[in-house]
C-alpha cells in the first residue's frame, strides 16, 4: 500500500517548500522553492557555511553590494538543489522591489545570468515575484523573453486572473495564510477540509484556469496541515514543507483525487484592467492585508540575511 505522499505524487507534482538539502534528498520532490525566510534559516545552519563563504568570496572578488551577495547565496542554494531534483528551482526577487517593474526585471536578469554562469540553464529556474500589479507586469515581460516566473504571495481571485492574462508560467496561491486571517477573526468556526477558505480559493482558481484553457500552472502553497493538502489532491502542483511531507509519508490511508481538469467554473472569463485589478484588491480586505504583510515579512528577512552575511 502506498503512503499518502506516494499517492499524491501520482496525481500532483510535489514541490519541496524548503532550502534544506537533506530534506530534498529524503523526499525526492520534482521541483523546489525558496524564499528569503527559508534562505535566512539556511544561512544560520552550519552545514551551509561553505556556501556562505562562497557568496562572500564572490562579493569580494566582484566588489558587489551586500544585496548582490545575498542574491548570490540564494543562487548557490539553488545550484545545490538543482543537483538533487529533476525539475526547477524557484528563486525569489528581493521583496523590496515588489512595486518596481523595471527593477524587478533587472533583478530577474541578474539571477538568470548567475545561474547560467554556474551551468544551470534558465529553463530550470523560475523567477519568484510578488503578485502586485507591478510584479505581474514584470512577469509578463519576462515571460515574453522566455524567462518563466512563479508569481507568489497570491491571495485573491483578481491576482489569479491578472496572472493568467499576463501569460505567467506558474502561480503560488497561499492556502495557510488565508486560513490564518479567517481563523483570527472567527476562532470558533469550523474551517476543516473543504470549509477551509484557502482551499476554496485555490479550488476556484483551478476550475477557472481549466475551464478557460489557461496554461498557467496552479501550485498551492503555504499549508498549515495535511487536511489542506488532501483537499487539494489533484492540483497541478503543491509546494509542501518537509514536516508535512513526512506526515503524509506516515499515513497510508487512501487519498482520493479532489481536483480534476474536467471540473467547470462559474466565473466568466474576464481580463482586468489595472484600475479594475486595484479596485478588486481594495475590496478584498484579506488579500490586501496578507499581500502587504507578506511583502513586509520577506523584506525584513532579506534585511536580516544581509546583516548576517555582512557581519560574519
In the structure, what pLDDT confidence band is assigned to residue 312 with cuts at 50, 70 and 90?
A: low
Q: Catalytic residue among 122, 128, 210, 290, which?
A: 128
Tens-place pLDDT, residues 30-79: 999 988 898 999 889 888 999 988 988 887 887 788 888 899 999 999 99
Q: What does the chain come to in residues?
A: 312
Q: What is the mean pLDDT of residues 169-173?
A: 98
HSE-CB of 120 using CA atoms within 13 angstroms: 26
Tens-place pLDDT, residues 186-230: 999 999 999 999 999 999 999 999 999 999 999 999 999 999 999
Q: What is the mean pLDDT of residues 261-268?
A: 92
Report pTM: 0.95
Tens-place pLDDT, residues 92-126: 999 999 999 999 999 999 999 999 999 999 999 99
The pLDDT, as a whole number, for residue 60 is 81
Judge whether 107 counts as a catalytic residue. Answer: no
**Mean of per-residue pLDDT scores for the chain:** 95
Amino acid at each position: 500500500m502506498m503512503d499518502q505522499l506516494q499517492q499524491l505524487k501520482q496525481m500532483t507534482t510535489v514541490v519541496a517548500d524548503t532550502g534544506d538539502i537533506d530534506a530534498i534528498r529524503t523526499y525526492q520532490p520534482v521541483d523546489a522553492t525558496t524564499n528569503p525566510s527559508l534562505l535566512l534559516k539556511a544561512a544560520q545552519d552550519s552545514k551551509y557555511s561553505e556556501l556562505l563563504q562562497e557568496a562572500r568570496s564572490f562579493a569580494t572578488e566582484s566588489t558587489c553590494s551586500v544585496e548582490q551577495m545575498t542574491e548570490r547565496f540564494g543562487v548557490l542554494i539553488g545550484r545545490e538543489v538543482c543537483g538533487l531534483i529533476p525539475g526547477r528551482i524557484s528563486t525569489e526577487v528581493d521583496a523590496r522591489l515588489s512595486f518596481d517593474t523595471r527593477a524587478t526585471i533587472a533583478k530577474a536578469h541578474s539571477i538568470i545570468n548567475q545561474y547560467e554562469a554556474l551551468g544551470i540553464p534558465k529553463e530550470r529556474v523560475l523567477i519568484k515575484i510578488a503578485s502586485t500589479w507591478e510584479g505581474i507586469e514584470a512577469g509578463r515581460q519576462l515571460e515574453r523573453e522566455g524567462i518563466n516566473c512563479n508569481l507568489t504571495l497570491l491571495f485573491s481571485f483578481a491576482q489569479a486572473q491578472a496572472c493568467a492574462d499576463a501569460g505567467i508560467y506558474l502561480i503560488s496561491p497561499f492556502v495557510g495564510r488565508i486560513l490564518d486571517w479567517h481563523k483570527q477573526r472567527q476562532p470558533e468556526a469550523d474551517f476543516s477540509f473543504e470549509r477551509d477558505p484557502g482551499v476554496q480559493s485555490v479550488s476556484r482558481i483551478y476550475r477557472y484556469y481549466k475551464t478557460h484553457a489557461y496554461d498557467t500552472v496552479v501550485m498551492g502553497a503555504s499549508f498549515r496541515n495535511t487536511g489542506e493538502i488532501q483537499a487539494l489532491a489533484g492540483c497541478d502542483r503543491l509546494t509542501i514543507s518537509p514536516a508535512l511531507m513526512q506526515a503524509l509519508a506516515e499515513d497510508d490511508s487512501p487519498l482520493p483525487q479532489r481536483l480534476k481538469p474536467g471540473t467547470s467554473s462559474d466565473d466568466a472569463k474576464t481580463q482586468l484592467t489595472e484600475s479594475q485589478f486595484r479596485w478588486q484588491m481594495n475590496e478584498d480586505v484579506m488579500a490586501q492585508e496578507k499581500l502587504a504583510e507578506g511583502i513586509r515579512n520577506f523584506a525584513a528577512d532579506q534585511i536580516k540575511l544581509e546583516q548576517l552575511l555582512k557581519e560574519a
